[in-house]
Every structure is written in C-alpha cells, then in structure tokens.
Amino acid sequence: MAGNYQNELSSNLMRMKFMQRNNKRSDIAEDTNNTLNTSQNYGAFQISKNIVMIPSYVPCKPLFELGRMSFRNFNPEIEKLYNEQYTIYEQSLAKNSENTTTTTTETDLSAEKDISDEELARRYNTLVDSIGKKLKKKRSSSHMNQASPMQSSTSFQPFKKKKKFLKPNV
C-alpha cells in the first residue's frame, strides 16, 4: 500500500488557474537562474570585480568635520558656509603638516567655536532655571496628593464593602 502512494497532483488540479500561475512563477525563476549561471554572462561578472574596496573612512573625514552640505546650488547659503569652513580646514591641515607637533592654539579654538563662553553660560543658567521651575511644580503637586507618613500610619481608613447583587422585584 505504501508503494502505491501518488507523488503527482491530478491533471484537473494542475489545470486550475492558481496552479498555472505557480507553474509560471517557478518557470520564470528557473529561467533567470539558468541565464545567470551560463558561461556567456560569466565574463560580465568578472568585469565588476575590478572595483577596489577601501575599508577606511579616512577619505570621508572632511565630510564629518564640516557638517551640513548642499550640492548643485540647492542651498547656496550652506554651500557658501561650507566653502569657508573647507578653506579653514585645509589651512589647519597645512599647519599640521608643517608642524609635526599637534598642539592647538587659542586662535584655532576660537575659530571652531560657534558660541562664546559667556553666551553658553547664559543659556545654561536659563536652562537650569526653567527645568527647576518645572520640577518645583511637579514636587509641589505630588506633595499635596500624598499624606505625611505619620498621618497615614496613625489614621485608620476602613475599606468599603463590595455591593452585592440585588434581585429585581418582579
């Protein structure tokens, strides 16, 4: 009995529309695999192996240091800033190549700063004040809702009984 097991589907089932779609998909997949594996296309894949991969990110380092960019005059203001920063960057590279020691001077640091120290201190103070006010409001509202520990331990609060089901009067 086990030897008489039918491995193929019936011809009526194979003629149904969904089965024909599945057959077409499998045929197309086989055709694409066959064309990729033929010797005619093997030479085309060999040409693509001439690409040189560089695992280092060093060529992209100026992009990281200079920040936001714009291309083809999409944002001319940013391109102008980029050009200014890039010239400063190239000058600093030239200085570093001339001087073997890598020390930064105050002029280099001031050129790199976006805001002054006084401005940073003022912003920090306003930030601390605004966060302090917010936390003060939260603390005061949480203290009002909570009872003191002495009151909660000494006072007894009876629990409410659960109401039972009342039968309706008919």
CB 101, CB 110: distance < 8 Å: no
Cα–Cα distance, 89 to 97 (Å, whole number): 12
Highest mean pLDDT among 13-22, 33-42, 96-105: 13-22
Write out pLDDT tens, residues 112-141.
677 788 888 888 888 888 888 888 887 777
91 shares a domain with 67: yes
Mean pLDDT score, 97-106: 58
Residues listed for the chain: 170
What's the pLDDT score for residue 6? Answer: 64
For residue 64, what are the domain limits? Answer: 58-99
Q: Do the domain assignments include residue 28?
A: yes
Mean pLDDT of 144-169: 68
- Model confidence, pTM: 0.24
Same-domain status, 17 and 40 = yes
Check pLDDT > 60 for residue 70.
yes
- Asked if residue 132 belongs to a domain, the reply is no
Residues contacting residue 92 through CB under 8 Å, at least 6 positions apart:
108
Token output for 96: 């570093």
| Residue 29 within a domain | yes
Residues 65 and 35 in one domain: no
- 36 and 66 share one domain: no
17-21, 56-60, 74-78: segment of lowest average pLDDT = 56-60
Cα atoms in the 13 Å half-sphere on the side-chain side of 25? 6
What pLDDT does residue 150 have?
A: 52
* Residue 156, amino acid: F
Tokens of 140: 């005061």
Q: Do 79 and 70 contact (CB within 8 A), yes or no? A: yes
- Contact by Cβ (8 Å): 70, 78: yes
CA angle at 59 for the pair 53 and 60, rounded to the nearest 5°: 105
Residue 113: inside a domain, yes or no? no
The answer to whether residues 62 and 95 belong to one domain is yes
Look at residue 158 and tell me if it is in a domain.
no
| Percentage of the chain exceeding pLDDT 90 | 0
Given this model, what pLDDT does residue 102 score? 47
The pLDDT value recorded for residue 78 is: 82
**Considering the domain boundaries, does residue 65 fall inside one?**
yes
pLDDT-derived band at 162 (thresholds 50, 70, 90) equals confident
Domains: count for the chain = 2
pLDDT given for residue 88 in this prediction: 85
